[in-house]
Amino acid sequence: MEVNGVHAIYFSPALSTKKIVKAVAEGISPHIVTYDITQGVGKTVFLDNSIVVIGVPAYYGRVPSLAKEHLSQFKANGTPAILVCVYGNREFEDTLLELQQICIESGFKVISAGAFVARHSIFTNVAEGRPDTADLEAAREFGKQSLKYRYTNNLHLPGNIPYRAIGAIPFVPTGGRQCDKCGVCVKACPTNAIADDTPKKTDKSKCISCGRCIELCPQKTRKYRSLIYHIAKRKFTKAHNGRKEISLFFPL
């Protein structure tokens, strides 16, 4: 059976997951239908003879709660799915295992999975420049190789059940003096944590520290500024500054 349609679904606040997912999909076909679910998407049903690449960033070694909510809008009936998680050079722990369970519950047949490294969305000096050219080429090859397994459904992924607990990040980004109230961050925030009339501020009760406002700010003025952030940054950088490589998983 020929593949009739390649779809790329990604929750990608800081845009790195988007790059990887699209590269995996490009390894299958140059013609891709994309779904950016960072800020939600309507209900969608996939056909059996299409193939879907689904990607999320690792958040405390888990699928982000908001991504899980948005992924629930997708339904399938045995449609082959390739899973991708992107992590910031630490560990991806239970992310792929949880994503697999989410996709199976939605009717997908998971045929392969990959954990890719990208620049850390909070401590951006860690894995800076990734995904690089080699990462993206490996992602395309991963997509191509995954086609060999689209009729199988026997994939075992690392991780633990119950999944690890998701902690709270003690700092959030804010705007600086250069903020001109353009409203880009207000519209882009996936949790509506930035008010239109006070765009320099961030609602700590809503913010998930995804880094989207920092990535998209035209003035480059939104940043993490607290003392605790800079202390944590030094500690994290020291512990996780060595290069980590891609982990790929295929059926046995």
| 196-218 confidence digits (pLDDT tens) | 999 999 999 999 999 999 999 99
pLDDT < 50 stretches in the chain = 1
The predicted structure's pLDDT at residue 23? 98
CA atoms lying within 13 Å on the CB side of residue 232: 13
The predicted structure's pLDDT at residue 2? 61
Which residue in 57, 68, 75 sits closest to 215, CA to CA? 57
The predicted structure's pLDDT at residue 252? 84
d(CA 40, CA 69): 9
The predicted structure's pLDDT at residue 150? 86
